[in-house]
Amino acid sequence: MMIEIRGNVEGEEVADAVILGVGADRAMDDAGQWIFERMPRLPHLMDEAEFTGKPGQILSFAGAGDVPYHRVVFVGIGAEPDAEEVRRAAGSGARALGKWATVATTLHSVPIEGAAEAVGLGFALGAYTFMRHKSEPKPSLISTLVLLGADEAAVGEALRGQTIATGVGLARDLVNTPSMEKAPEALAQIAREIAERVGLRIRVLDESEIAAERLGGLLGVSLGATNPPRLVELRYEPEQAKAFVAFVGKGIVFDSGGLSIKAAEGMETMKTDMAGAAAVFGAMQVIAELGLPVKVLGIAPLTENMPGGSAMRPGDVLEIRNGKTIEVLNTDAEGRLVLADGLSLAVEERPDLVIDVATLTGSCKVALGEKIAGLFGADEPAELVSEAAEAAGERVWHMPMPEDYRKNIDSDVADMKNTGPRWGGAINAALLLKEFVGDVDWVHLDIAGPARASDSEHYITKGGTGFGVRTMVEVARRMALR
Ligand code: BES
Ligand code: MN
Ligand code: ZN
């Protein structure tokens, strides 16, 4: 998608369509007023639709005859829009205008910091579609975003937003891809292509190297699958890095539950179980493209969780990379097993901060719903990541990790067991992960809910959301400022 500047809303054939932000009580900027005055039936139609400019409202009209646009879309941004409101407005506009090639807006001049980046990000995300498996694909036809009356700085900002959206789109594509097309080696190959394209170092461990490196959690989960596991390590090492952050993403390319097999319904969306790994790939691509002065290590343990004849069994004991042992009582609690190895590897390199991102527990989805991720960690790193997430427009909630819950995962035979009581399931999982981070600052994001959306809204398209990419990029940006 191209981003261009053009003079103002009045020109002939500026664009096919225009998106106009409307504040509370139908407050509009000059462009909006110019259009409004030339479409005589608008006040009546807005009354009828009860359109006042509330956030989330959207009204779309044919402009033909009155104004030089085929479509005019008004989007509510409320009384005091923030960056997220602008992202959502741009995204709603893009989703409504998929039939048109060139779309103009003035949303970048909403008087807040970062408005232009928010427009570039929200607009590009809203134009996202996944049509690879449709015999008659109907992708969004949008090819150009026109920023009316903008300066070069605004275009630069909007392009940064678009760069972030492309990384989110990569993660969405990987999540939406059927599991049969994303075996661990296939995903590793995609990681190699990303690394080649944006300039990352990459190391891919195959099954014998995974065994030689004593990654017993990843190896154990992989035993029931025919497709062999991989572990991907991506490295971004700019000169003069200001900080060092590591990301670990859960990469279960399909979660059947293993021998503790899921019911059919629970499996329907389990191609999503590599959303953490996908987000790590997306974030690393963006961070490299933006050239942020932060060293980044990205780790993705990749495997299927399948119930084959050589699968791990309830009661089996696995030894993780850092030497601790886990009794597997439920093979469906597999994410924590592969993350234990990933986290062990990450902390060996002593980063300033480790963040893991994982579709870890149904329990977290029950607690926080589909739109909010559980965030676990000590207060200081948790605050850094929470603030970054909030600024980036991803919703998280800081969850407790009470020490007296640790006995929930005491094992009779090993250092711990991989399941506790049903109650507090997301907390029990986080407490297990904590055993593998030592004294390194660490934050765990349980994205079981927000990794996929069951409906489209504003810049979200139903399916994989790419959740986590924007938070990781924003954390890297903030660490670059320290
Ligand atoms: N991948 C699932 C968690 C999940 C469930 C993500 C629903 C998104 C939607 C995970 O591997 C899992 O199966 N967790 C179990 C753990 C339990 C067996 C302790 C769960 O949450 O039920
Ligand atoms: Mn599972
Ligand atoms: Zn899983």
- Domains of the chain are 2-164 (3.40.220.10), 182-480 (3.40.630.10)
Mean pLDDT along residues 352-360: 99
Instruction: Looking at 50-103, list the stretches that DSSP marks H as alpha helix, in order from N- to C-terminal side.
Output: 83-96
Mean pLDDT, rounded, of the chain: 97
> How far apart are alpha carbons 218 and 338 in whole angstroms?
4
Find the residues whose C-beta lies inside 6 A of ligand 1.
Answer: 255, 273, 330, 332-335, 359-363, 365, 419, 425, 448
Residue 482 scores a pLDDT above 90: no
Read off the pLDDT of residues 149-197 as tens digits, 9 standing for 90 and up: 999 999 999 999 999 999 999 999 999 999 999 999 999 999 999 999 9
DSSP E strand boundaries for 153-268: 201-205, 230-236, 244-249, 251-255
Residue 65 scores a pLDDT above 90: no
Read off the pLDDT of residues 102-149 as tens digits, 9 standing for 90 and up: 999 999 999 999 999 999 999 999 999 999 999 999 999 999 999 999
Q: So which residues are the catalytic ones?
A: 262, 336
Task: Tell me which of 272, 331, 361, 416 to substitute to probe ligand 1's pocket, judged by most ligand atoms within 8 Å of the beta carbon.
Answer: 361
Phi, psi for residue 291 in degrees, rounded to 5: 65, 35
Number of the ligand 1 atom closest to the C-alpha atom of 429: 19
Read off the pLDDT of residues 210-255 as tens digits, 9 standing for 90 and up: 999 999 999 999 999 999 999 999 999 999 999 999 999 999 999 9
CB-based contact 72:28 (threshold 8 Å): no
- Identify the band that residue 259 occupies on the pLDDT scale cut at 50, 70 and 90: very high
Mean pLDDT along residues 309-320: 98
Beta bridge partners of 353: 245
Closest-CA residue, ligand 1 atom 3, reads 361
- Residue 473 CA, ligand 3 centroid: distance in Å: 24
Instruction: Looking at 205-354, list the stretches that DSSP marks H as alpha helix, in order from N- to C-terminal side.
Output: 207-212, 216-222, 264-267, 275-290, 335-348
Task: Tell me which of 332, 422, 452 to substitute to probe ligand 1's pocket, judged by most ligand atoms within 8 Å of the beta carbon.
Answer: 332
- 103 CB-side CA count, 13 A: 31
Task: Look at the block and give the residue holding tokens 């990303």.
Answer: 194
The enclosing H or E element of 22 equals strand 17-22
Residue 404 scores a pLDDT above 90: yes
Residue 330 scores a pLDDT above 90: yes
pLDDT at 11: 84
Rounded to 10 degrees, the C-alpha dihedral 215/216/219/223 comes to: 180
- Identify the band that residue 293 occupies on the pLDDT scale cut at 50, 70 and 90: very high
The enclosing H or E element of 161 equals helix 152-176
CB-based contact 326:317 (threshold 8 Å): yes
pLDDT at 12: 83
Which residues have CB under 8 Å from 57's CB, separation 6+? Answer: 22, 51, 74, 75, 76
Which residues have CB under 8 Å from 156's CB, separation 6+? Answer: none
Read off the pLDDT of residues 147-159 as tens digits, 9 standing for 90 and up: 999 999 999 999 9
pLDDT at 64: 79
Of the bound ligands, which one is closest to the alpha carbon of residue 328? 1
What is the rounded end-to-end Cα distance, in angstroms, of the chain? 33
Tokens of 10: 């009045």
